[in-house]
Structure 1
Amino acid sequence: MPNQQRYGAGIWHFATYVDRYATDGYGDPRSILDAIDLAGQVRDLSVVDLNYPFFGGEFSNEQVGEALERNGLSVIGITPEIYTRTFAKGSFTNPDAGVRRLAHELITEAAGVVRHFGADYVKLWPGQDGWDYPFQVDHHSLWKASLDGVAELASDNPDLKFVIEYKPREPRVHMSFDSVSRTLLGIERIGLPNVGILLDFGHSLFGGESPADAAQLAIDYGRLFGMDVNDNLRGWDDDLVAGTIHPIELFEFFYTLDKNDWHGVWQLDQFPFREDSVEAANTAIDFLKLIQRALGKLDVDGIREAQSNHDALTALKLAQKALFSSY
């Protein structure tokens, strides 16, 4: 493990939220500048992923940069909002060519913001791309549109990385990029070196995957460009505080990253609807630090020997001993 692990968070972690019941929100609205100031209160947080366009008002890159500087934060990625009402029928897969072009233009603007802040990547979360009903779409055309949209952007911006964050569903009933395997198939078809995966631990759980297995698969294909963590009850993308529900699987996920020498930012993608956002981030980062200590205590040779025999109980005992003695 690196001596100084970097921790990050999506800036939306520090926004306020609405849902279809509390349509008046779970708190007063905040601008991106307010959210950055809150993020600056989190212990050991050093990077943030920013939505684009910036929410809560008209803000320039320079204004956002000043807020980042006063809070000691830098930018890891920019997430263009290609999932709003404008894109209700899709971004890359929208049947209207004009809306597809609008998505391309918005992401191209976001690419410029990535360059401005010296960030690592443009994050693509095409949450409205997909379908809801049988016979609604031609699946061949839909998949081709998904791949063509990403490929055009990656070709136009070879100096930048584009990461696809897959998810089984929501807001679309079935998202086009729904799993690690399907996303990797698409990326391999695109065939460009600057397209990869951002693996969301909770999306992997929600999709019935093993996040450790998903990470290994993405690493084996050289396509794991980023990751973020949270937790859920597997039935929905709850975006709960990391480590609160599936600590052993989260430990295995980071063990998989570590054994492959994957040392990127450990990033939070949490939605603390009813919790204090700063405390939710601190709680998660404290648990991630515990995992880092546990990785240093883990009997790796013992784990490997147990795995060579598919000895689940011995492997779990070793993992539990390292994790639960690291508090």
Structure 2
Amino acid sequence: MGTSTSSCRWSKPAGSCRPLRSAPRMARRAYDAADHCCQPASALNDAERKKLTTIVITVRFADMKFATRLNSFVSGGDVSAALRRVAATDAIDYVDLNYPEHFENLDPAAMKALLDELGLTLNGTATRFRKQFVAGEFSNPDETIRRAAIDLAKEAIDASATCGSDLLTVWLGFDGYDFTFQKDYAKDLQRIVEAFQELADYRPDFRISIEYKPYEERVHSMINSFGQTLDIIKRIDRPNLGATLDFAHMLMAGDQPGFGASLLLEDGKLFGIHLNDGNNAHDDGLMIGSIHPFETMEMIYFLLRYEWDGVIYFDTFPIREDAQDEAETNRATVELFFEKVKAVGVDRITDVIRSQDGIAAQQLRNELLGIGASKYAAELTR
């Protein structure tokens, strides 16, 4: 089970385990269902059956932590109503918030009170830089605007901490270029490095996570790939700075999600996972596993192998679909993929990987589909 000596099911390096923060909400569900657990199914009404279904899910996946994209639930700008819908979604106990977008009508203290009321835990806050920053955030040629971007990120850190989180995710959508001769690459990258160093030093107990994307909003992003992300992490050189991997962004960059996850996990620098899917060229935000099920399962395998204990965030964009149904479908898919990987066995998958045998890998994929165990793979890994 990897190199960690932690007792967590999927955790960061030894000693970094955190208790399940949504346990009180799960306990309430268990208590509500207990009155009916000994009755025959035929004696239960629909609401009671739903309670029992929820508690079964809770027991089986109590150590899995899920968050979903709040903007999929927002209608008419009503953040409070959106949070209530998220709270009513089965097995979604965490939420991510955008700053300043989701705090415009709720200050951090009021947001914390609402989250507590709903039984939701804030996983983290993400910066959202809007029109003021279209020429760049941390590499903006106007130092006044650059300073405003850094200050906005510091405000987001403070808001997130007030709400009980220790994580800020930063995606620099405008730090890039559209034409040749438009960017002083080395010097502008250094300005980005210095901005992140300032953020990391602002609160050393708070985690800063870089989310990369190869393009959009600009034609080319300054932090445009997994390799570039690794490089800038080393340049910034702060223990509380890591990366968030967005599955669709990795596909857009031509990166292999499992490859990126394994390297960050090895270094203890994987601070966030955004699961979704797409057709590689754009940030499609499709349902998890709908296009790349095997790449998703490979990433999940590495999460299990390294016993990562973070929150899995569903960064999908339901437009014609009901957001609640879509989130619950994503949850069911991820749970199924975890079950499939665990049923085959992390150690056995590791043996197949280390053999570097293409036939064994294909037969392993067949087995993950439920086609049946392979004699070839079994003999190879015996």
TM-score with structure 2 setting the length: 0.78
Q: Which residue of 2 aligns with 1:132?
A: 178
Partner Cα distance (2:182, 2:266) in 1: 35
Matches within 5 A, 1:269-288: 269-288=315-334
> Is it true that 1:61 corresponds to 2:111 in the alignment?
no
Q: Which shows bigger deviation, 163-172 or 55-64?
A: 55-64
Offset, 1:301: 4.3
Residues 165-314 of structure 1: matches in 2 within 5 Å?
Answer: 165-314=211-360
Matched-pair contact (CA < 8 Å) for 1:180–1:218: no
User: Cα 1:158–1:188, aligned 2, differ >3 Å: closer, same or farther?
Assistant: same
> What TM-score results when the alignment is normalised by the length of structure 1?
0.90
Structure 2 counterpart of 1:38, from 53, 76, 85: 85
Moved more, 162-171 or 108-117: 108-117
Structure possessing the higher radius of gyration over alpha carbons: 2
Q: Which amino acid aligns with 1:245?
A: I
Q: 2:71 matched to which residue of 1?
A: 12
Q: Secondary structure at the match of 1:45?
A: coil
Matched residue type, 1:79? A
| Native 8 Å contact 1:50 1:77 kept in 2 | yes
**Match of 1:104, as an amino acid?**
I
Conservation of the 8 A alpha-carbon contact between 1:31 and 1:57: no
For the 8 Å contact 2:112–2:164, the answer to whether it is kept is: no
Q: What's the offset of the Cα at 1:107?
A: 0.9
1:325 is displaced (CA, Å) by 7.1
Distance 1:148 1:56, change over 3 A: closer
Cα gap change, 1:324/1:73 in structure 2, threshold over 3 Å: closer, same or farther?
A: farther
Identity rate, percent: 33
Task: Go from structure 1 to structure 2 and tell me whether the alpha carbon gap of 1:57 and 1:300 turns closer, same or farther (over 3 Å shift).
Answer: closer
* Residue 51 (structure 1) aligned with residue 98 (structure 2): yes
Q: CA RMSD in A?
A: 1.9
Structure 1 range deviating more: 254-263 or 204-213: 254-263
The Cα of 1:33 is off from its aligned counterpart by: 1.2
CA distance in 2, matches of 1:53, 1:285: 28
The one-letter amino acid of 2:95's match is V
- Counterpart code for 1:121: L
Q: Which runs of 5+ in 1 are unaligned?
A: 16-27
1:205-235: CA deviations, max 9, x gaps?
Answer: 1111110001112223331111110000001
- Would the aligned equivalents of 1:165 and 1:199 in 2 still touch at CA under 8 Å? yes
Q: Distance in 1 between matches of 2:160 and 2:109?
A: 13
Q: Which amino acid aligns with 1:127?
A: G
C-alpha contact (below 8 Å) 2:138/2:146 kept by paired residues: yes
Give the Å deviation of 1:167. Answer: 0.7
Question: Which amino acid in 2 is paired with 1:14?
Answer: F
Kept in 1, the 8 Å contact 2:111–2:163? The answer is no
**Number of residue pairs matched by the alignment:** 313
